[in-house]
Amino acid sequence: MTKTKMLKEAKQWDEYWTKKKTKSQALYRLVAGFYREFIIKRSLNYFIEQEFKKGSKLLHAGSGTGQVDTDILDKYKITALDISGEALKLYRENNGDKAKLLRASIFGIPTKKASFDGIYNMGVMEHFTEGEDIQILKEFSRVLKPNGKIVLFWPPKFGMSVIFLNSLHFFLNNILKKNIRLHPEEISLLSSENQVRDILKKGGFRLVKFYFGPVDLFTHCVIIAKKSYLV
């Protein structure tokens, strides 16, 4: 990703995390916040606690406001990374000093090699092209320890949130003619497990577990992968 595109991304996400003025955007933020707090956080707790020992050093790569981190912060050493300064301000408001905050791009994580036991994110990878996702995975591989793992919550085309938001955008823009976009474009929604395997392989990982089910109400494909040396 070029520096110009990174600056554009940072501005876009700063605008997203800043309070919205329209009623539809305010309602969306309210619903999204509720979903993160009561559905997604539970799913994150479940998979993180399954995959990592207490005290593990984890990177939340694309942390947003950190609403989903509130439970696991007491069990793991978490670094919250986000390109948006506004997001990190909200993270601090939600979680105090429990995590180390790092404002940076996931394309160039400013840490040494083999710094983390694990990396996780949710609702991040779908905002980039497949080629960019492969670049991101290679950077994840660089900063992970030899036996490191990633846990990615990546929405598929057939996910409940995608279906809901597509329907909402259709209603707002095609019926009401509002010309509203509630969140940045999702250009790489998943289609299949085989697609994930291929992307992971090109990025330096091998798939360990692929889950799509009721734990988060069929919202994300949960991808657990290990660092591979067969790149």
Domains of the chain: 3-227 (3.40.50.150)
Return the sign of the alpha-carbon dihedral for residues 82, 61, 46, 27.
positive
pLDDT-derived band at 167, boundaries 50, 70, 90: low
Cα–Cα distance for residue pair 8/131, rounded to 1 Å: 18
The alpha carbon torsion through 113, 223, 195, 191 (nearest 10 deg) reads -140
Indicate the helix (H) or strand (E) that contains 80.
strand 77-82
DSSP bridge partners of 211: 222
- Residue 39 pLDDT: 87
Please compute the mean of the pLDDT values over residues 196-217 and round it to a whole number: 96
pTM of the model: 0.85
pLDDT of 166 > 60? The answer is: no
DSSP designation for 209: E
Please compute the mean of the pLDDT values over residues 148-173 and round it to a whole number: 72
Residue 225 CB: number of other CB atoms within 10 A?
A: 27
Average pLDDT, rounded, for the chain: 86
Cα–Cα distance for residue pair 17/153, rounded to 1 Å: 20
Q: Which residue has better confidence, 193 or 38?
A: 193
Per-residue pLDDT reduced to its tens digit, 95-118: 999 999 999 999 999 999 999 999
- Residue 158 pLDDT: 84
Per-residue pLDDT reduced to its tens digit, 53-83: 999 999 999 999 999 999 999 999 999 999 9
